[in-house]
Amino acid sequence: MIWRLIRVGGNVLALFLTCFIVGTGVGFNLGEITARTWERPAQIAFSEGAAGIGGGVACILGPILYYIILGRRVSFEEFAIIVASAFIGGSLAGLAGSEFITPIIPVLVSAIAATIIKFQRAGSSLPQ
């Protein structure tokens, strides 16, 4: 019983750490892209804040996608597709220079990508 709790706790901790590290990286890079025309000190400060926000949001969104939408089954390829989709969508929003829309787009795109993966896995077509 105790070994099961340790294993489950380790899995949950690994999920949170992975989500935090990936979210921090994506947030920092999107902050750099969004603030690319600002003066360097302001750009770094904005990117650091974006990294913190990205890590925090990923710790909330990651477990929701993993446990609820994907049902605790995700391959490395599916994980990479979700992260890359969020990064590309956020980068395009960041290139537009909108510091208000940029954090919303990766969240929406990653949720959409996970939902599409879930439907493809089930073998059904997307809702019309």
pLDDT reading at 20 higher than 90: yes
pLDDT at 126: 52
State how far the alpha carbon of 20 is from the alpha carbons of 16, 51, 63, 80, in Å: 6, 9, 11, 15
Burial 1-11, CB ≥16 within 10 A → b, else e: eeeeeeeeeee
Q: What pLDDT, on a 0 to 100 scale, did the predictor assign at position 127?
A: 55
Contact in structure between 43 and 32 (CB atoms under 8 Å): yes
CB 61 within 8 A of CB 110: yes
Residue with more model confidence, 124 or 24: 24
Of 9-23, 60-74, 80-94, 105-119, the poorest mean pLDDT is in 60-74
- Percentage of the chain modeled with pLDDT above 70: 96
pLDDT exceeds cutoff 70 at 102: yes
> Which pLDDT belongs to residue 124?
58
Give the predicted TM-score (pTM) of the model.
0.79
Average pLDDT, rounded, for the chain: 86
Please, are residues 58 and 26 in contact by the beta-carbon 8 Å criterion? yes
